[in-house]
Structure 1
């Protein structure tokens, strides 16, 4: 038995960033959101920096040019938070868990 599966790539139509969430409106009508804390760069950014984003490609993700941050729609769907760079993680360890870098 052959089963044909027509997989449609999830694509972004529009997005918004609140103080708590990244909300993505997809072209297929779904709306998904993830906690803002998934991106340590966005968590530390100003509201103006959070609002200044671009849609990547045909809607595969979101790019914040002022922060050099990218989040893919697939990452949002599959639960892949942004990882801290090795330098940022080292600074955090050196300063202690309560400090910010």
Structure 2
């Protein structure tokens, strides 16, 4: 069974969180600190987000996250212990 994933309409960085507004009007958000590459970035780098039909791309950081992953609580590679 395939689950249709909503597409992003806008995204940005605010108060330590990445937020995504979907075409349906739903909003996803997660702490930038949950992703090692995002955690080490400047606010300007975090706010420089390119949208695709399936996810987000930070060109300054060479980082990509899918909307499906974000919706499931997967914010990228975990920190190594």
Alignment TM-score, normalising by the size of structure 2: 0.84
Over 4 Å off, 4+ runs:
none
Corresponding residue SS for 1:41 = helix
How many corresponding residue pairs?
81
Bigger fraction of residues in helix: 1
Alignment TM-score, normalising by the size of structure 1: 0.69
Query: Which residue of the partner structure matches residue 59 of structure 2?
Result: 65
Unaligned stretches of 5+ in structure 2? none
Higher relative contact order (CA 8 A, sep 6+): 2
**Does the aligned pair in 1 maintain the 2:12–2:49 contact within 8 Å?**
no
Bigger fraction of residues in strand: 2
RMSD value, Cα? 2.1
Residue number among 33, 36, 39 corresponding to 2:35 in the alignment = 39
